[in-house]
Structure 1
């Protein structure tokens, strides 16, 4: 059985910095990601990204534009729980303007929202969606699609 997730992510870039959040779980010691997450049943991804930004950073987010969509298929053998089978994640990426001062999500899975220099991102242990979001934001491909991001080393599914 294949699992499926529709998610919306915010790419917020100001002064050569991107807003990232650190994710923690029982499966790893933490990694960096873009603010965002699952679109709830019946929810519009546009509204989901604004909700997720508020939950994970404590900031208001204003969607400026759609950047693109990424479809990622993860074979069972590459998942942290291979017994759940393969997984497909559809990510909708938006450029979002942030207002307010970031603060950690209370009782949530994300902590440490931080404006991170773009030059420092490559050295961080991060979700592949960070690279996808930055490629969409910085490259603005007319198709709204970028090549698959290879995982391994510092880059995780």
Structure 2
């Protein structure tokens, strides 16, 4: 699969109502370009691929909106909406916040979000100028997974290091 095919299939799969095969997501991942932490700064709206992973649906229940990368050492992994619709960084759920690093995953170095309070890594690759594919990895997850697959769309009109969510939980 080349990069053009990967992008086209990625767009089809993110619209799927039913389950998505993680092996197909792995093929797409392998064809996409890596990114640098500095290139993904800004505000991002998130969604997940339903692969049957135990985390599927959990973030939606928490009101997950997406992620904000204000700076390399100021990443907010769990931007959520409260009952009134206000965005905030859910530090309790994330056990802190995070930072961006360049980490090797599957033989490539790419931007990776390292959580402050959990042994969790979110690896990112570029689908296009406004879309990232993510794979959540962590301590205790075997090399073959199962992984949690997700995507992020850059929020239109937000500059790199975009507006910060309200503080608190």
TM-score w.r.t. structure 2 length?
A: 0.27
Higher relative contact order (CA 8 A, sep 6+): 1
TM-score w.r.t. structure 1 length?
A: 0.28
